[in-house]
Amino acid sequence: MSRVAAVVLAAGRSSRFRAAGGAEETKLAAEIEGKPIIVRVVEAALASRARPVIVVVGHASGAVEAALAGSPATIAFNPDFETGIASSLRLGLASTPLDSDGAVVLLGDMPNVAPRLIDDLIAALEARPTVCAVAPTRGGRRGNPVLIARPLFGRALLLDGDEGARRLLEALPPGDVVEIASACDVFFDVDTPDDLASARRGNKNER
């Protein structure tokens, strides 16, 4: 059985959210149905097979950590969060146990992520243990979260700036990526106050 970690990227500056009038210091602390967005994401990861669950924080780390107080997730602070998502991805992957077969990379602003989707990604790696990555699709489009297998960690550690897992997977030959069709929400994230309002209404407009 594969041992796969979960890396939750939660260090971003929420620039679009705050520029559009978002009240919170970080969108990840904004609540949907009484629960901060970051808590929803981390609880989904904890409800899956992925272990350990590592949360990479940076901007407004105090607010994110306060929201996660008492959670068994591991917190990793990224002092270079202002340089872009690549630094958080590098830190998250470097924080996984050495015997991990890979890591499911979750975006901290996707409040509808389902534990079963994370487990489906892990099961796909177990079925095809030689691939470099697993990505969910819906309507023929790749979404998130994605699973990065251990052989791809080296290339991930070379990413820079705002290069994330998507850039990494796009550079791979088709045979190195397993795609799994999913009925789960793999697109919706909270970028703006309008997105937050939509999520609170239960209107999950997928992009």
pLDDT one-digit tens code per residue, 35-55:
999 999 999 999 999 999 999
Q: pLDDT tens digits for 149-200?
A: 999 999 999 999 998 888 899 989 989 999 999 999 999 999 999 999 999 9
% residues pLDDT > 90 (the chain): 88
Rg (CA), the chain: 16
Residue 203 confidence class, pLDDT cut points 50, 70, 90: low
- Whether 16 has a pLDDT exceeding 60, the answer reads yes
pLDDT at 206: 45
Strands (E) across 25-183 are located at 31-32, 35-36, 53-57, 74-77, 102-107, 133-138, 141-142, 146-149, 177-181
Q: What is the mean pLDDT of residues 15-34?
A: 93
Q: What domains lie within the chain, and their CATH numbers?
A: 4-199 (3.90.550.10)
